[in-house]
Structure 1
Amino acid sequence: MGEEQNKLTTRQGHPVSDNQSLRSVGERGPATLENYQFIEKITHFDRERIPERVVHARGTGAHGYFEAYGKIGDEPAGKYTRAKVLTQAGVRTPVFIRFSTVIGSKDSPETARDPRGFAVKFKTVDGVWDLVGNNLKIFFIRDAIKFPDMIHAFKPDPVSNRQEPWRFYDFVSQSPEALHMVTWVKSPWGIPADYRHMEGSSVNTYKLVNDQGVAVLCKFSFEPKLGVKNLTSKQAAEIQARDVGHATRDLYDAIERGDFPEWELCVQIMSDDAHPELDFDPLDDTKRWPEDQFPLLPVGRLVLDRNPANFFAEVEQSAFGTGVLVDGIDFSDDKMLQGRTLSYSDTQRYRVGPNYLQLPINSPEAETRTNQRDGQMAFYVDGGGENPHVNYEPSVMGGLREAPKPAKDYHQWVEGHLGRYQTSRTADDYKQAGDRYRTFEDWERDDLIDNLVADMNQCPEPIALRMIWHFWHCDEDYGRRVAEGAGIDLEKAKALPPLEGKPEPGSSRPRSTYTDGRPEERRGESAAE
């Protein structure tokens, strides 16, 4: 095949010279709506499968409530946000949570090594708030334009319909930002024991806005009151031999017997500015905010106390979107968040239908009054104004009117050159991955190495060598152990040149010891212990 035939284009035949970055105002965003290449790519990706979800197809869910403490840490919650769901102490907000795996189909095993979806629908007095996250606090990529390629690489081969490790590592080997997430997923943290013993995280950075119009950056985390438990590959295989839906069964049975699972919602807070003193960009979702610098501040408790009455109507037709926010919670310029905000709701309109918000599982507790009408499967008309003939705004004939504006709204200053950026602030994709390796317990690290060795043995040499190069730059011991286990020439791997177009790993890279400097953080104990 000639060189010209290998050039990437859009479906209109336009050559694609940058398939790695959204167009944004300046290096740190925000992204802009005329990202046509991204919009074409992501909206087609959203429609690749029917009727099950493209990702997160295997899942279950339950109903419950969220009860705010009225404080964020030791401070009144109103200091940071005007969102009533977080400021009104003792008020129980109805919630529905959907837990899921990511890559597998609807009937795939729940013992899969895969991130877990943790999506929460809060039916607040000010409308629905969807907090759509994962169990792990980071992600594989930091720019939404790469999402379809990432999922294609992780899904089964389009010819053989088999999930092949080489496809996963082929993508990762050229995307070193994924190394941190790979280090988590290939450890026992990649297989939670069940949903009740699992963390949840927004992954993306949001903003909290108070009644003075002042904003702070934040990340949300759900910490399970039961603690965290994970499985080794051997433990997962033993469970899968007996039950491919063990986590669904565990959650359902626990709620039925009155053993209601509970999480504490916490936030990490950071001032809304550039933070040049940090060695990572707080908007980069491949990086964690260190909890010793940005502690988890308790906000409220979340309890699940009721199973669905009908799985299809409530779990399968539940629809979440990262753009579904309430006043007092706002978007940051996180490029993954901005891309997800288009993709999620677009997917729901395609998968469930344009009137998916009229379904009881998705409709808010608060009354809706809109001028949106008709479409497939519309079964009622949203509440309107005094005059049913007026389905537009503005009007002097009794139609709907705009709600009052906040006394002091939040206004973000934005300026910069429009272009495609691979941010230099996040150039070191090795440091946090190495830190994670060094802070694992011995049994977690051993399981990580065993899993990676098995995968490297199924990869072509060029991919395996590059992955060893990456692991060695995260931590010398990390790279050495994987190379020795897989029978790969470490010196040959180390001699590879840096990736073209990618920054060289920084001097923080090789620390060959891993037993010192462990932070005090919640460990993922083995389910067998």
Structure 2
Amino acid sequence: MTNKKQQQLNAYKVDDANQTLTTNQGLALTEDEHSLKLGERGPTLLEDFHFREKMTHFDHERIPERVVHARGTAAHGVFESYGDASDITKADFLSAKGKVTPVFTRFSTVAGSRGSADTVRDARGFATKFYTDEGNYDLVGNNIPVFFIQDAIKFPDFVHAVKPEPHNEIPQAQSAHDTFWDFIANNPESTHMVMWHMSDRSIPRSYRMMEGFGVNTYRFVNAKGEARFVKFHWKPVLGVHSLVWDEAQKIAGKDPDFHRRDLYDAIENGYYPEYELGVQLIDEKDEFNFDFDILDPTKIWPEEQVPVRLLGKMTLNQNVDNFFAETEQVAFHVGHVVPGIDFSNDPLLQGRLFSYTDTQLIRLGGPNFHELPINKPVCPFHNNQRDGYGRQTINKGPVSYHQNAIQQNSPAPTTEAAGGYAHYAEKVEGHKVRARSQSFADHFTQARMFWLSMTEVKREHIRKAFSFEVGKVARTEIRQQVVDLLANVCPILATAVAENVGVQPPAKTEPVQTDQTSPAVSQLRAPKKTTYSKKVAVIVDDTTTDFPSSLLEAEDIQLERVSIKQGKCGEHTIDHTLDTTSPVLYDGIIVAATFNDPVNAGKLQQFIDETYHHYKPIANLTDKPLPYVTSAGISSTIPQFIKDLAETRHWARKDAQG
């Protein structure tokens, strides 16, 4: 059944196929190949209104890209509530079991431009617009639960530091350069976030296998006026999975649209991404009962201390019809909330409440961005706001002001009891100061907690990530500062990085004192094991006749046949050749054929080697043995391969070089 948002969008959709060519004014045209000239070789005439309209529109087709989160992709879907959450919030979309709300979700990188690659090391945006019956609610977050800064006034400084350096516009979509690490070294509040950033969380396998976090602290308010502090979580049903760094770099060259293509193809093929919405809740009376400040955006609320309560599930089930009109023009705002959801005094959140409106005004050309089809709420809206660029609403009548007699003072406010929004009445006292609470001053305890929560495999990845990124820094003094900063987290980590980047080991030998861990932050503590929608390359030739594809398809595994030529190969239709695809684009491979000529045999061996060194499963159905020391994740049967594929990666390969 078509949801309310899709019904609304249908009014704007146009199919140009098999239609007569017209101008934007609806005038039918007989010619679109030649401009109007004075003679066949003469000058173009200014009276050619069709040429002028077509060219003027083209000249103005581009809008400013987002300052951050420019590179993104999106999809439509639905959110279904698991039950009545009225004990914690009066938000209507969470008020009943089975209540369905249309949504639109945009995923993105942060630092790069629109033309950058998908698989760079970066945080990822995870923003969802709920088209609720009470108005639009935007849950705007990232795939990492903390942030680089504590106060929004530092956001321009952070973004300037991570963006390409202004003197040469290098490097694009990377944090491996001097100004970023100079910022980190001189802003220790960033330490926790940079530990996450150097982990595999910053190179997700796909948007379908990526957690989302609201990052900031909000409030839930119920109908009784009772408030609780809340943090939001999106939990992917497929689990949280990442790439390895060598693989991520190669994908950026082989398919820079890898994440975008993965999401689009999954939805087109019916493998709908699913995410459970969960919340962590802290009663107001417990605000100061933790060894961290719950309003500090550089801190998590460990799930072992504050459990996540699941409220519903989002399913993304429809791709956009037009990327610009929907994905590019969608406008999110942390201030778009509904009754039952309010704000805290989180200083990063408070600044975001201003910034989002300001940026949409310049990016989308004026104050009426809410009237664009993708942004328009499904419920009616009435107010006295008028005019401006892009106005689509045609307001009738002479009145455009409040307190009037002509229209009996309408449109009029709604009472809170009737569903009107009312801010939570928080009592606040204090002097006007430019300062930060001392409760925000601990920058290293949770950074060390994150490090201690990692498995040894993931710690090694973090060591390599720091060594790679800091190794790209030209200034020795900045490399030294970063190493000295890391000593507060783990002197052993700092010493290893120092050796790799050519600076002195840290003088500090004792980290911040904590042995606390949070298993919930580790991807490998309790991984989801599934084969659902995973993509496998099958190497075949014209002699491959008994390949049991039905066993794999029954496990919802996507198969692509790969050989040395396209077209038909025996009983197989070839999807790709060894030259037109790459092992980094698959979750595993099945070798059902070998090639005798040295060139193709070498290409196949390279294909297998990369799969092995990226810890992915391999099924060898041929008589030729594979020359590897470790057999973890290598099988000779399809049933065993299916089990290996569910494991995702096989870290026991000690000789792998990923």
TM-score (norm. length: structure 1): 0.83
Query: Partners in 2 of 1:471 and 1:482 — Cα distance?
Result: 9
Q: Which residue of 2 aligns with 1:504?
A: none
Query: Partners in 2 of 1:509 and 1:58 — Cα distance?
Result: 37
1:339-358 correspondence runs (5 A)? 339-353=351-365, 354-358=367-371
Change (3 A) 1:517 1:52: closer
Greater RCO (CA < 8 Å, at least 6 residues apart):
1
Q: Which residue of 2 aligns with 1:300?
A: 312
Shift of 1:358: 0.5
Give yes or no for the alignment of 1:134 onto 2:142: yes
1:364 to 377, 383, 387: 377
Q: Do the aligned residues in 2 keep the contact of 1:475 with 1:510 (CA within 8 Å)?
A: no
Q: Secondary structure at the match of 1:418?
A: coil
Shift of 1:484: 2.4
Corresponding letter in the other structure for 2:341: I
Shift of 1:239: 1.4
Q: Do the aligned residues in 2 keep the contact of 1:437 with 1:478 (CA within 8 Å)?
A: no
Q: Which residue of 1 aligns with 2:72?
A: 59
| Dislocated runs of 4+, deviation >4 Å | 524-527
Change (3 A) 1:148 1:527: farther
Q: Do the aligned residues in 1 keep the contact of 2:447 with 2:489 (CA within 8 Å)?
A: yes
Corresponding letter in the other structure for 1:88: A
1:472 to 467, 477, 487: 487
Q: Secondary structure at the match of 2:488?
A: helix
Give yes or no for the alignment of 1:421 onto 2:435: yes
1:320-335 correspondence runs (5 A)? 320-335=332-347
Query: Partners in 2 of 1:92 and 1:274 — Cα distance?
Result: 33
Shift of 1:520: 5.0
2:237 to 225, 234, 241: 225
Q: Which residue of 1 aligns with 2:642?
A: none
Change (3 A) 1:162 1:131: same
Q: Which residue of 2 aligns with 1:374?
A: 387
Change (3 A) 1:159 1:104: same
Give yes or no for the alignment of 1:403 onto 2:418: no
Change (3 A) 1:104 1:369: same
Using the TM superposition, name which of 362-371 and 402-411 deviates more: 402-411
1:148 to 153, 156, 159: 156
Q: Secondary structure at the match of 2:216?
A: coil
Corresponding letter in the other structure for 1:340: R
Q: Do the aligned residues in 2 keep the contact of 1:373 with 1:381 (CA within 8 Å)?
A: no
Q: Deviations over 1:134-168 (max 9, x none)?
A: 01111100100000010000000111110261111
Query: Partners in 2 of 1:105 and 1:448 — Cα distance?
Result: 25
Q: Secondary structure at the match of 1:494?
A: coil
Shift of 1:521: 5.3
Give yes or no for the alignment of 1:509 onto 2:486: no
Change (3 A) 1:339 1:119: same
Q: Deviations over 1:2-26 (max 9, x none)?
A: xxxxxxxxxxxxxxxxxxxxxxxxx
Q: Secondary structure at the match of 2:277?
A: strand
Corresponding letter in the other structure for 1:93: T
Shift of 1:522: 5.4
The structure number with the bigger radius of gyration is 2
Alignment length, in residue pairs? 457
TM-score (norm. length: structure 2): 0.67
Corresponding letter in the other structure for 2:112: G
Query: Partners in 2 of 1:60 and 1:191 — Cα distance?
Result: 16
Query: Partners in 1 of 2:345 and 2:285 — Cα distance?
Result: 11
Change (3 A) 1:173 1:508: closer
Give yes or no for the alignment of 1:272 onto 2:284: yes
Q: Which residue of 2 aligns with 1:394?
A: 403
1:111 to 119, 132, 150: 119
Change (3 A) 1:64 1:137: same
Change (3 A) 1:463 1:522: closer
Percentage identity across aligned positions? 43
Q: Which runs of 5+ in 1 are unaligned?
A: 1-48, 72-76, 496-506
Give yes or no for the alignment of 1:242 onto 2:254: yes
Q: Do the aligned residues in 2 keep the contact of 1:193 with 1:527 (CA within 8 Å)?
A: no
Query: Partners in 2 of 1:520 and 1:404 — Cα distance?
Result: 42
Q: Which runs of 5+ in 2 are unaligned?
A: 1-61, 528-613, 617-648, 650-658
Q: Do the aligned residues in 2 keep the contact of 1:473 with 1:510 (CA within 8 Å)?
A: no
Q: Do the aligned residues in 1 keep the contact of 2:304 with 2:518 (CA within 8 Å)?
A: no
Q: Do the aligned residues in 1 keep the contact of 2:120 with 2:249 (CA within 8 Å)?
A: no
Q: Do the aligned residues in 1 keep the contact of 2:342 with 2:424 (CA within 8 Å)?
A: no
Q: Secondary structure at the match of 1:489?
A: coil
Q: Deviations over 1:500-529 (max 9, x none)?
A: xxxxxxx97056xx8x95625551678841
Change (3 A) 1:214 1:409: farther
Give yes or no for the alignment of 1:441 onto 2:459: no
Q: Secondary structure at the match of 1:148?
A: helix
Query: Partners in 2 of 1:311 and 1:519 — Cα distance?
Result: 39
Change (3 A) 1:292 1:81: same
Query: Partners in 1 of 2:481 and 2:513 — Cα distance?
Result: 16
Query: Partners in 2 of 1:175 and 1:273 — Cα distance?
Result: 32
Q: Which residue of 2 aligns with 1:158?
A: 166
Q: Deviations over 1:57-94 (max 9, x none)?
A: 000000001111124xxxxx111110101122211100
Q: Do the aligned residues in 1 keep the contact of 2:302 with 2:518 (CA within 8 Å)?
A: no
Q: Do the aligned residues in 1 keep the contact of 2:490 with 2:511 (CA within 8 Å)?
A: no
